Amino acid sequence: MRRAEHAPHPLTLGVTPACAGRPLSTFFRHGASPADLRALCGACPLYEACDAYAMAYDVRGIWAGTTYSEGAQRRHRLGILPLSVFTDTPRDLDVLRERRPYGGDLRARRRALAAQGVSTR
Ligand code: SF4
Protein backbone atom coordinates (compact mmCIF):
# COMPACT_ATOMS: atom_id res chain seq x y z
CA MET A 1 0.00 0.00 0.00
CA ARG A 2 1.25 3.48 -0.76
CA ARG A 3 0.05 6.78 0.61
CA ALA A 4 -1.90 8.92 -1.86
CA GLU A 5 -0.31 12.06 -3.24
CA HIS A 6 -1.94 15.44 -2.67
CA ALA A 7 -4.46 16.59 -5.27
CA PRO A 8 -5.91 20.12 -5.15
CA HIS A 9 -9.53 20.54 -4.11
CA PRO A 10 -11.50 21.08 -7.34
CA LEU A 11 -13.17 24.25 -6.03
CA THR A 12 -9.76 25.91 -5.61
CA LEU A 13 -9.06 25.75 -9.37
CA GLY A 14 -11.13 28.77 -10.42
CA VAL A 15 -13.49 26.81 -12.68
CA THR A 16 -17.26 26.72 -12.18
CA PRO A 17 -18.40 23.14 -11.56
CA ALA A 18 -21.53 21.64 -13.12
CA CYS A 19 -22.94 21.24 -9.58
CA ALA A 20 -22.63 24.96 -8.74
CA GLY A 21 -25.65 26.14 -6.75
CA ARG A 22 -26.80 22.66 -5.76
CA PRO A 23 -27.14 22.01 -2.04
CA LEU A 24 -24.39 19.91 -0.53
CA SER A 25 -27.01 17.36 0.54
CA THR A 26 -27.39 16.44 -3.17
CA PHE A 27 -24.21 14.42 -2.85
CA PHE A 28 -25.13 12.50 0.28
CA ARG A 29 -27.63 9.79 1.15
CA HIS A 30 -31.20 10.89 0.34
CA GLY A 31 -29.81 13.39 -2.21
CA ALA A 32 -29.86 12.91 -5.98
CA SER A 33 -29.57 9.38 -7.32
CA PRO A 34 -26.07 8.12 -8.22
CA ALA A 35 -27.23 7.71 -11.84
CA ASP A 36 -28.31 11.40 -12.02
CA LEU A 37 -25.04 12.49 -10.45
CA ARG A 38 -23.00 10.38 -12.86
CA ALA A 39 -24.69 12.24 -15.75
CA LEU A 40 -24.13 15.64 -14.10
CA CYS A 41 -20.52 14.90 -13.23
CA GLY A 42 -19.79 13.40 -16.64
CA ALA A 43 -20.46 16.83 -18.17
CA CYS A 44 -18.47 18.78 -15.56
CA PRO A 45 -15.27 20.61 -16.54
CA LEU A 46 -13.84 19.65 -13.15
CA TYR A 47 -14.55 15.93 -13.49
CA GLU A 48 -10.91 14.80 -13.60
CA ALA A 49 -9.81 17.13 -10.79
CA CYS A 50 -12.78 16.09 -8.66
CA ASP A 51 -12.04 12.42 -9.28
CA ALA A 52 -8.33 12.89 -8.47
CA TYR A 53 -9.17 14.71 -5.22
CA ALA A 54 -11.67 12.05 -4.17
CA MET A 55 -9.11 9.33 -4.89
CA ALA A 56 -6.42 11.12 -2.87
CA TYR A 57 -8.56 12.05 0.14
CA ASP A 58 -10.94 10.09 2.32
CA VAL A 59 -13.96 12.20 1.38
CA ARG A 60 -17.60 11.25 2.00
CA GLY A 61 -20.53 11.54 -0.36
CA ILE A 62 -20.45 11.34 -4.15
CA TRP A 63 -17.54 12.95 -5.98
CA ALA A 64 -17.15 12.82 -9.77
CA GLY A 65 -20.13 10.47 -9.91
CA THR A 66 -18.39 7.97 -7.62
CA THR A 67 -19.86 6.86 -4.31
CA TYR A 68 -17.76 6.57 -1.17
CA SER A 69 -17.72 2.77 -1.31
CA GLU A 70 -16.87 2.72 -5.04
CA GLY A 71 -13.96 5.08 -4.39
CA ALA A 72 -12.77 3.03 -1.42
CA GLN A 73 -12.88 -0.17 -3.52
CA ARG A 74 -10.92 1.50 -6.31
CA ARG A 75 -8.24 2.74 -3.87
CA HIS A 76 -8.06 -0.74 -2.37
CA ARG A 77 -7.55 -2.32 -5.81
CA LEU A 78 -4.80 0.19 -6.60
CA GLY A 79 -3.17 -0.17 -3.16
CA ILE A 80 -3.63 3.50 -2.22
CA LEU A 81 -4.03 4.77 1.34
CA PRO A 82 -6.05 8.02 1.29
CA LEU A 83 -4.98 11.25 2.95
CA SER A 84 -7.19 12.88 5.59
CA VAL A 85 -9.34 15.90 4.68
CA PHE A 86 -8.95 17.10 8.27
CA THR A 87 -5.18 16.97 8.69
CA ASP A 88 -3.62 16.84 5.23
CA THR A 89 -5.17 19.79 3.33
CA PRO A 90 -4.50 22.95 5.35
CA ARG A 91 -3.72 25.06 2.26
CA ASP A 92 -6.84 23.97 0.41
CA LEU A 93 -8.98 24.62 3.46
CA ASP A 94 -7.51 28.12 3.76
CA VAL A 95 -8.64 28.87 0.21
CA LEU A 96 -12.07 27.35 0.75
CA ARG A 97 -12.56 29.21 4.03
CA GLU A 98 -12.85 32.43 2.00
CA ARG A 99 -15.32 30.99 -0.53
CA ARG A 100 -17.57 28.57 1.31
CA PRO A 101 -20.21 28.76 4.01
CA TYR A 102 -19.27 27.46 7.47
CA GLY A 103 -15.83 29.08 7.03
CA GLY A 104 -14.42 26.00 5.31
CA ASP A 105 -14.80 24.14 8.60
CA LEU A 106 -15.71 20.62 7.55
CA ARG A 107 -16.85 19.64 11.03
CA ALA A 108 -19.20 22.64 11.15
CA ARG A 109 -20.47 21.71 7.69
CA ARG A 110 -21.11 18.15 8.88
CA ARG A 111 -22.96 19.45 11.98
CA ALA A 112 -25.12 21.71 9.78
CA LEU A 113 -26.00 18.77 7.53
CA ALA A 114 -26.78 16.60 10.57
CA ALA A 115 -29.14 19.33 11.81
CA GLN A 116 -30.98 18.97 8.47
CA GLY A 117 -31.17 15.22 9.00
CA VAL A 118 -28.57 14.50 6.30
CA SER A 119 -26.09 11.75 7.12
CA THR A 120 -22.51 12.25 5.88
CA ARG A 121 -21.31 8.84 7.11
S1 SF4 B 1 -17.44 16.27 -11.01
FE2 SF4 B 1 -19.49 16.30 -10.09
S3 SF4 B 1 -19.21 16.55 -7.86
FE4 SF4 B 1 -17.27 17.06 -8.90
S5 SF4 B 1 -17.35 19.31 -9.14
FE6 SF4 B 1 -18.14 18.39 -11.03
S7 SF4 B 1 -20.38 18.23 -10.82
FE8 SF4 B 1 -19.50 18.62 -8.76
DSSP state, residue 31: S
Regarding the beta carbon of 11 and ligand 1, being less than 6 Å apart is answered no
How many structural domains comprise the chain? 1
pTM, two decimal places: 0.75
Query: For a substitution probing ligand 1, which of 9, 24, 63 has the most ligand atoms within 8 Å of its CB?
Result: 63
**Residue 87 belongs to what domain range?**
2-115
Question: Which of 38, 44, 67, 100 is the best mutation target for the ligand 1 pocket, counting ligand atoms within 8 Å of the beta carbon and taking the most?
Answer: 44
pLDDT the model gives residue 111: 72
The answer to whether residue 110 sits within a structural domain is: yes
Residue 95 lies in a domain: yes
Residue 112's pLDDT is what? 66
pLDDT at 30: 82
Q: Give the amino acid at 39.
A: A
Please indicate, yes or no, if residue 38 is contained in any of the structural domains. Answer: yes
Task: Classify residue 121: in a domain, yes or no.
Answer: no
Whole-number Å distance between alpha carbons of 95 and 101: 12
Report in angstroms the alpha-carbon separations of 94 from 24, 33, 62, 105, 108.
19, 31, 23, 10, 15
Q: Which residues of the chain have pLDDT under 50?
A: none
